[in-house]
Amino acid sequence: MGPERSSAPRSVLVVDDSALIRRVLADIVSGSGEFYVVATARDGNDALAKVRAHRPDVVTMDLSMPGLDGLAAIERIMEEAPRPIVVVSARAGRSCAEAVRALELGAVELVEKPEAGAARATGMADLGPRLLAALRAAAAADLSAVARRAAPAPVAERAAVVPGAARFALAIAASAGGPRALAELLPALRTGLDAATLVVQHMPRGFTRSLAERLDGLCGAHVVEAEQGAVVAADTIYVAPGDFHMRLRGGSGSATIALSRDEPLWGVRPAADHLFRSVAEAFGPRAVGLVLTGMGRDGAEGLAAIRRAGGSTLAQDRSTAVVFGMPHAAVEAGAVEEVAPLGALAERCLAAIGRRRAGARV
Query: 217-245: b or e for each residue (b if 16 or more CB lie within 10 Å)?
Result: ebbbbbbbbbeeeeebbbbbbbbbbbbbb
Contact 199/239 with Cβ under 8 angstroms?
yes
What does 45-85 look like in DSSP terms, one character per residue? HHHHHHHHHH--SEEEE-S--SSS-HHHHHHHHHHHS---E
Q: Residue 67's CB: how many other CB atoms inside 10 A? A: 12
Question: Among 234, 254, 233, which residue's Cα sits nearest to residue 191?
Answer: 234
Judge whether 298 counts as a catalytic residue.
yes
Among candidate residues 202, 245, 274, 328, the one labeled active-site is 202
Angle at 273 between CA 268 and CA 274, to 5 degrees: 90
Alpha-helical segments (H) within the chain: 19-30, 44-54, 70-80, 95-105, 116-122, 128-139, 143-147, 178-185, 207-216, 272-283, 300-308, 325-332, 342-361
Among candidate residues 64, 89, 95, 175, the one labeled active-site is 175
CA distance 50 to 70: 14
CA distance 292 to 278: 19
Among candidate residues 298, 312, 317, 328, the one labeled active-site is 298
Question: Among 124, 51, 57, 134, which residue's Cα sits nearest to residue 89?
Answer: 134
Q: Phi first, then psi: what are they for 3, rounded to 5°? A: -65, 140
Judge whether 175 counts as a catalytic residue.
yes
Judge whether 202 counts as a catalytic residue.
yes
* Pairing between β-strand 256-260 and β-strand 287-291 as defined by DSSP bridges: unpaired
Question: Among 113, 293, 112, 138, which residue's Cα sits nearest to residue 201?
Answer: 293
> Which residues participate in catalysis according to the annotation?
175, 202, 298
